[in-house]
Chains A and B, each alone.
Chain A
């Protein structure tokens, strides 16, 4: 169902340029509310971009996509709480691509400040500025563990405003004072106890002027928020009735598959599609630039035909094999750093005396969402509709409009459920391919489905990275600590894809998880060296934190062990001096694990910590020796999210983040030979399975001053906690992932 109405939208680039060129215009635009993109359907009343009331309940339009993280449920609960709805009266739908659904929080993710610290005036100003830019540009992105943090105030305001309008309408109808009315279970209750349902009041209420001064409920009055709510998508997902992008079916639809150049980003010099064209059921073979597409009667035929196409590629724009790629990354250390976001107390100059040094490496990683990339497109009579599970609908809309030569008001993006995202579905590559294919068959809907092999071999990978660590120990904590990190820049690669250029300046993502950690170290130096390697890279669950926590936390253990110190006790001293809630999660995880108590023979613990997306997280991993193979037996995690809106869902997300991190740490790697990715399918790039899954316990704390993110925070500490546990069990310090090259796992 399309809810997109007509709104005047400026293009992303024009609007961005306006901010840079004229503050007055930007201010004016920022002060205006973006237009409501919703048009009321039959029997509906639209209150604002987030609230639609029907006779049988309320549909909350969620500005962020449901990709497993449960955000749709919590965002709907923010509205339902303020409207005093029964939970069974609430439905949720993804919003269309529209400026009203901008993510005002995301700009903060790029700011070069550690966010655990008290905010300086400059930091506040920068955050306000980026919030304004996000609103102005209407950038609608699900990512950065920001959905609920971004929605917390706006969704509650949307619900509270709608409730006030419904109460006003009831007061007008009854001719009594609005203050004498209450609301309960989706109805306004009169002083005599009689109820008027929201559905009954909806049309007249939605026509009223929305009040501007409605305050949200105090936390003490919450009935839904702060409680474990059944997810709105659960029954559908347990019965095969949840609609994912790959499930879209339209009358007259044809099916497509692609064979993209296995040499990433290179030109296709020629291709041979004779075998494909001869297959029964194949309708068309198309050169869509960088890939060859097959349109066929069914997906099976399209995929087999695509697979049969032989491609002759121009040379790769990057070194052809893994070792040469790492050599190029290492060469970045020979250049001046792009940025040094931490340089306390003279930084690296203090590395004198007994200096301990180590080099760490991590590989490229794929996202490997369970649902392979796919998109359905229909170009019909100057209207383009795209159905695709995505994390960035406005980017897809704008890019597709440019490609099809349409005004973006004539492009509709429909977002079904996402079968995993993890950052992969913030890209628009599959959607754009589908549009190109649809342009070749106007009037016919076409569904493009990537094979697993295409998905694995044409990702925007988590970049490989190398860290050169150095430290000098003081009596019981490090006196000097230096992390130099070299990796291709996700920030620059994504900026080039989205904006067409890479803005200069610091690259927070390159050293996040290292420079921004709340450790007290007198001489603390973190530098980022951008390596110029053109393998496509992108946002992978927790981004830079995913490698930097591994470097930082393993090396901290090395420093502690050099003095025979307990690594948890050392961390506690360093954290307590800087940020109490961070020390508290470390202490809590250690307590849960029984850290410091003797373990049975053949078992050992490892610890790690990372402050990411506004939440401090500590993890302890227990490994067990099973006949010479290692079992990841248990994980204890303590997280502080500031305000916990749904603990059961937070627990699920932390466990999920841990599994994602452990899977990569144990077995995840994307390698290259002859310019092509060497992994094809799950046997080459797997995740933990049921029999490898540790028991996980999660404690959710609420001492941090601000609300933290949830979806990514479990991932960063998982790899270092495991590697530290492996060291404790085997005495083997593994500095290169994945671990299974060095030790055997169950």
Chain B
């Protein structure tokens, strides 16, 4: 089947039931999207499907032909950071960093819908993303900062 990922077309041979998460990680080699729980309980595998934040561990790849998939690698790169990623760096958010791909993808989707979120809106959007290092205060600060960056851009 053909998948559109980060603006490129990838041809993959996979069981249509295989979750997008494992297609990305094992078959295509895009390992920025993380496995954390496999049951949509931690948010580490969050990607954008047609602009909406989704848990890649719950998306059978067979349903995704024709969808526009964006992973953290497609959001920005170390040399060309997305505003959310730039805010993450400015606020020194990450500790172990394992959940941060998912946090960043969730935050980017939030800001696309809600350009100036309140703290309550951040709580509502981000509470599905678990961080065992407890980086939440800096995530919150970085989201507000990214909102300002995006509005200014």
A→B interface (CB under 8 Å) = 67-70, 228, 230-231, 233-244, 246-247, 249, 255, 280-281, 298-300, 303, 368-372, 417-422, 449, 451-452, 648-649, 652-653, 655-660, 663, 681-683, 686-693, 695-696
Contacts and interface: CB of A to CB of B under 8 A. Distances in A.
B117 to A, nearest CB: 12
Contacts of B97: 68, 233, 236-237, 242, 244, 417, 419
29 contacts: A67-B96, A231-B92, A233-B94, A238-B100, A239-B77, A240-B32, A240-B72, A241-B78, A249-B29, A299-B25, A370-B99, A372-B35, A420-B133, A422-B132, A452-B39, A648-B92, A652-B135, A656-B95, A656-B135, A659-B133, A681-B37, A682-B37, A689-B128, A690-B136, A690-B139, A691-B124, A691-B127, A693-B134, A693-B136
Given A249-B29, A371-B98, A648-B92, A659 B134 contact: yes
Interface string B93-116: 111111111001000000000000
Interface string B15-58: 10011011001110111111111110110100000000000000
B95 A299 contact: no
Nearest to A236: B78
B94 A299 contact: no
B31 A300 contact: no
Contacts of B38: 303, 451-452, 681
Interface string B71-104: 1110111100100010011001111111111001
Contacts of B134: 655-660, 663, 687-688, 693
B64 interface: no
A153 to B, nearest CB: 26
Contacts of B26: 255, 298-300
A659 B36 CA distance: 19
Contacts of A370: 34, 36, 42, 44, 96, 98-99, 130-133
B37 to A, nearest CB: 5
Contact of B94 (A231, A418, A422, A663): A231
B81 A687 contact: no
Contacts of B137: 655, 693, 695-696
A240 B33 contact: yes
Interface of B: 15, 18-19, 21-22, 25-27, 29-39, 41-42, 44, 71-73, 75-78, 81, 85, 88-89, 92-101, 104, 122-124, 126-140
Contacts of B18: 298, 300
A240 B73 contact: yes
Contacts of B21: 300
A505 B110 CA distance: 56
Given A244-B34, A300-B19, 12 more contacts: A228-B92, A236-B78, A241-B32, A300-B18, A368-B132, A417-B96, A419-B96, A420-B132, A649-B92, A652-B138, A656-B133, A682-B41
Q: For A238, A369, A663, which residue has the most chain B Cβ atoms within 10 angstroms?
A: A238
A372 B98 CA distance: 10
A357 to B, nearest CB: 35
B138 to A, nearest CB: 7
B63 to A, nearest CB: 15
A264 B98 CA distance: 28
Given A298-B26, A370-B130, A420-B133, A652 B92 contact: yes
A308 to B, nearest CB: 15
Contacts, number: 193
A689 B130 contact: yes
B89 A230 contact: yes
Q: For A67, A239, A299, A682, which residue has the most chain B Cβ atoms within 10 angstroms?
A: A239
Nearest to A422: B132
A239 B25 CA distance: 15
B34 A234 contact: no
Contact of B35 (A242, A299, A692, A693): A299
A69 B95 contact: yes
Nearest to A652: B95
Contacts of B77: 239, 241
Q: For B15, B25, B132, which residue has the most chain A Cβ atoms within 10 angstroms?
A: B132
Contacts of A649: 92
Contacts of A420: 96, 98, 132-133
Contacts of A228: 92
Contacts of B78: 235-236, 239, 241
B96 A691 contact: no
Contacts of B96: 67-68, 369-371, 417-421
A682 B45 CA distance: 14
Nearest to B73: A240
Q: For B29, B88, B97, which residue has the most chain A Cβ atoms within 10 angstroms?
A: B97
Given A238-B85, A370-B42, A690 B127 contact: yes
Contacts of A233: 94, 97
B95 A70 contact: yes
Contacts of A418: 96
Contacts of A299: 22, 25-26, 35
B129 A419 contact: no
A595 to B, nearest CB: 22
Contacts of A655: 134, 137
A125 to B, nearest CB: 37
A444 to B, nearest CB: 15
A686 B79 CA distance: 35
A382 B133 CA distance: 39
B34 to A, nearest CB: 7
Contacts of A243: 31
Given A233-B97, A238-B104, A239-B78, A682 B130 contact: yes
A651 to B, nearest CB: 10
Contacts of A663: 132, 134
Nearest to A370: B98
Give the 4 A-B residue pairs with the shortest CB-CB distance, closest first. A240-B32, A659-B134, A419-B98, A237-B97
Nearest to B139: A690
Contacts of B89: 230, 234-235, 238
